[in-house]
Amino acid sequence: MSEHAGGGAVWRPGRMSGNRGPGNQPWEADRASAVVHHARVLATIPAALGLLLDVAAFVLGAIELSAGASRTVLDDNMLGGFVIAATFSVVGWLVGSRRPANAIGWIFLVVGISQALATAAGTYARFGAATGSPDLPFAAELAWVATWAWAPGFILLLTLSVLLFPDGRLPSAGWRPLLWLTAMALALVILPMAVAAWPIRSVALATSGPPSDEPRLAVAIALQGAGLIAALVAALGSIASLAVRFTRSRGIAREQLKWVTFAGAIEILFMASTPFVQGTLAGNLVAVAASLIVPSLLPVAAAFAILRYRLYDIDRIISRTISYAIVTALLGAAYLAAFFGLEAFLAPLTSSGGSVAVAASTLVAFALFAPVRTRIAALVDRRFNRSHYDAELTVARLVGRLRDETDLEVLAAEVEAVVHSALAPSVVAVWSRGA
């Protein structure tokens, strides 16, 4: 449509009823908007169902614990199960509704609803026994559901969510056998157990597990073990594919892979440190952190990577994490060295040597914090946050040159050179206002 205004034609884009060819931009925009709308609706259903089941499981679990159940909130990974279900449901909805063509969002939704269903079904089945009401409706059927509902999310999380990250596609056709291996693992883990456990469904399946003397269950458990081995092989292959992607990636893809690599490293660190602090106050804190924080790291990191929100901040996050870890270790060592040294020195001189040693050691650690942090941050930035380090060097060199130069032509050439080295633009122009 056009209008005459001041003798000129003004084009106003609008909808056209005919000739909606592939080059018609309004039509393509409408179609893209419709796809996003349908994806948002489609992603909302499993996300809402997963959150609803998760809330129901949490409420039932809280009532069960208040009724004097022998279990605690950390037993059977209850707390971690709630967090996993909620986090994957929300992140799956975000990614699925905004990047509908990316399979990762839909896989995360399956993980969320699978975990929520397994947790809610098992909690409901145990709820009756814990509260003295063993005849709750559908308790036996839900106990049966809990025997296999965990498997889809668990297997897909270990395999396809890694294999298809970050764009939702295979790295190449050569990795396709891992898809078939994952499908075989799902079938072996889910179907035999579901079929064998149905005739003997009862609340006991959730409270004490499947009976070992049932012949059909023995076969199902053997097949399930084979399926888990297949899933493990597929998971190792998926990790190998991620490593190949990382070594070959550049630019945006490399930054995306850094997010999940960093989150995975933090999770491994938590899991590796747990056995060394088990049974202590630090161990309890690690257990709570592992239940609340660790399950959320990978899906949240994947969301940042896929949605590209503050994507390039990952170098700064890695650098600061490593810096503060090193600073904490060094200051802790300095504190202990100062404490034991001062205590040994002051013990023959005064009875309050311990208190003085604590105060003096604290002051030493406090005085060392700023210079040690600055030095360590600079060293770590040179390796893990190179862009920030190079930018600071570039600015410092430019400031030094500008301070000593008065010729405008030389200054303009210096500015152009700095912009070229820092940003690599196709065209650079420096405008200076005449006197």
Q: pLDDT tens digits for 220-248?
A: 889 999 999 999 999 999 999 999 998 88
Instruction: Check: CB of residue 125 under 8 Å from CB of residue 140.
Output: yes
Tally of CB atoms within 10 A around 410: 12
Rounded to 5 degrees, what angle do the CA atoms 316, 318, 320 make? 65
The whole-chain average pLDDT of the chain stands at 77
Indicate the pLDDT class of residue 113, thresholds 50, 70 and 90.
very high
Q: pLDDT tens digits for 40-89?
A: 888 889 999 999 998 988 888 777 776 655 554 445 456 777 888 899 99
Position with higher pLDDT, 6 vs 133: 133
Whether residue 178 is predicted with pLDDT greater than 90 in this model: the reply is yes
Q: Which of 254, 86, 242 is nearest to 165 (CA)?
A: 242
Residue 2 lies inside a defined structural domain of this protein:
no
Q: pLDDT tens digits for 135-155?
A: 778 888 888 998 899 999 999
Domain span including residue 404: 389-423
- For residues 280 and 143, membership in a common domain is answered with yes
- For residues 226 and 247, membership in a common domain is answered with yes
Helix (H, G, I), strand (E, B) or coil at 10: strand
Instruction: Check: CB of residue 216 under 8 Å from CB of residue 191.
Output: no
pLDDT at 254: 83
- For residues 229 and 345, membership in a common domain is answered with no
CA distances from residue 16 to 9, 11, 36, 195, 252 in whole angstroms, order as listed: 19, 14, 21, 56, 37
Residue 255 lies inside a defined structural domain of this protein:
yes
- For residues 337 and 407, membership in a common domain is answered with no
Number of residues assigned to the chain: 435
- For residues 398 and 341, membership in a common domain is answered with no
Query: Taking the mean position of all CA atoms in its chain, how far away is CA 86?
Result: 13
Domain boundary among 309, 342, 372: 309
- For residues 336 and 395, membership in a common domain is answered with no
- For residues 293 and 331, membership in a common domain is answered with no
What is the end-to-end Cα distance of the chain in Å, rounded?
49
Place of tokens 């410092």: 396
Instruction: Report the distance separating Cα 318 and Cα 254, nearest Å.
Output: 14
pLDDT at 405: 61
Average the pLDDT over 157-161 and give the result.
92
- For residues 378 and 395, membership in a common domain is answered with no
